[in-house]
Every structure is written in structure tokens, then in C-alpha cells.
A and B are shown apart, each in its own frame.
Chain A
């Protein structure tokens, strides 16, 4: 069974601090997505990384895909209260049969940024 290990599970920080969330697997993914979810709402897609070693930036958020496409990180610079939410990584495995392809989800990181 494929797993995406996401860490940390919970994070409570002060406004202005930096943080990094990690997603790790022993499996290779064809692509990996990061989502942010607020309470009572659906996940919102932040970014998709596809190429090993790829770095993408979205304002204060920096996403990196590992060279071997087995891991990814999300770094937030100068966190703000509006960054509070559940961050989820999800990997797409191209190695399984087409009819059974689905996203493999990390368990999520619950981030609280305190003013």
C-alpha cells in the first residue's frame, strides 16, 4: 500500500515565523499536489509539481519536489493568520493500472498562525 507521510501533523506558530511542512514516500509519484482547506470548506488546490527538483513559488509559499519524485516540501515565509488551515499533499501514482489510478493523500498538517 502506498503511503504519503506528512509532518508535522499539528503546528501552532506566531505571526511572522517561518515553517516547513514535509511529505515523504518510498514510492515515486508522477506528480504531487498541495491543497489548503479551511474548516467546513473543500480543499483548494495550491500547486502541482511534476518534475524532479522543481521549485514553485506562490507569494510567500515555496513548494519543492524532490529529485527522485518521492518527497515534497512546502515552506511558508513570514506566516500570517490568514495562512491558518489544513494543508494536504496528494500524490498521483502513474505506476498502477489506469482503471485504478487515484490520488494518495497525506494525513494533513493542521496549521494555526496566532496574531
Chain B
């Protein structure tokens, strides 16, 4: 099973709202990722969690707050977003981040959450 699930599928929120995106995987992967993607562009890395600890923050604004409650779950808390934050938010997982095995860089993506900020 190489499934990563994300909820919700679509989200519309105002600039003063607080919302959360959720991601779950049951592949036993120990690295999880948040990406932001604009139309017809490659995914842009936002955060990486490795063994439930934040290992990479790509200078993401503080209005995005990640959380990894356990090895299977990843959340992204949103607060006071701007219209330019509208995008497809993708969650991914991999065996681990450090490449101890050749397959460990293979990232498996969820279907994404289409976020619109009004």
C-alpha cells in the first residue's frame, strides 16, 4: 500500500480564518513533507519532518505552522493567510530523509488540498 491521504480535498478560507490540513500514511515511513504547488510548476518544499522532528523549514512564513503528532500523521495549521497563498498543498512521505537505502528518497504524494484564500 503506497497511499497517502489528505483532507480536506478542497478548502476555501478568508484571510482571518484558522484552518488545518491533515495528512496520513500507513507505510511506516519516517519522513514526511509539506509542499506548495502553483499551476504547472514543480512542487516547492515547505517543511520536512524526520522521525517526528522538524528537520527542514524552507523559510516559510509563520502563518503556516506544521505539526507531526506521530509517525503517521502530519498537520499544517493555517492562520491569517494571504490570497497569494492559494495553491495546491501536497503532503508526501518517504522511508527516511537521509538516504540510507537507495529507495529512501522515493517520495509518495497524497492527492493534495486545493486551498483558496479569499
Which residues of the other chain, A, contact B4 by a CB distance below 8 angstroms? 42
A105 and B42 contacting across the interface, CB-CB below 8 Å: yes
A44 to chain B, nearest CB (A): 7
User: In whole angstroms, how far apart are the Cα atoms of A42 and B6 in the complex?
Assistant: 10
Which residues of the other chain, B, contact A42 by a CB distance below 8 angstroms? 4, 6, 90, 92, 109-112
User: In whole angstroms, how far apart are the Cα atoms of A102 and B114 in the complex?
Assistant: 24
Say which size band chain B's interface belongs to.
Answer: 20 to 34
User: In whole angstroms, how far apart are the Cα atoms of A105 and B90 in the complex?
Assistant: 15
B98 and A92 contacting across the interface, CB-CB below 8 Å: no
Which residues of the other chain, B, contact A98 by a CB distance below 8 angstroms? 97-99
B98 and A101 contacting across the interface, CB-CB below 8 Å: yes
Q: With an 8 A cutoff between CB atoms, is A43 at the interface?
A: yes
Most buried by B among A42, A94, A98, A106: A42
Which residues of the other chain, B, contact A50 by a CB distance below 8 angstroms? 102
Residues 73-108 of A at the B interface (beta carbon under 8 Å)? 86, 88, 90, 92, 94, 98-103, 105-108
Write the residues of chain B forming the contact surface with A, with a CB cutoff of 8 angstroms. 4, 6, 40-43, 45, 48, 55-56, 88, 90, 92, 97-99, 102-103, 105-112, 114
> Could you write out 10 A-B pairs with CB less than 8 Å apart?
A30-B99, A33-B107, A40-B112, A42-B111, A42-B112, A45-B107, A45-B109, A90-B42, A98-B99, A107-B41
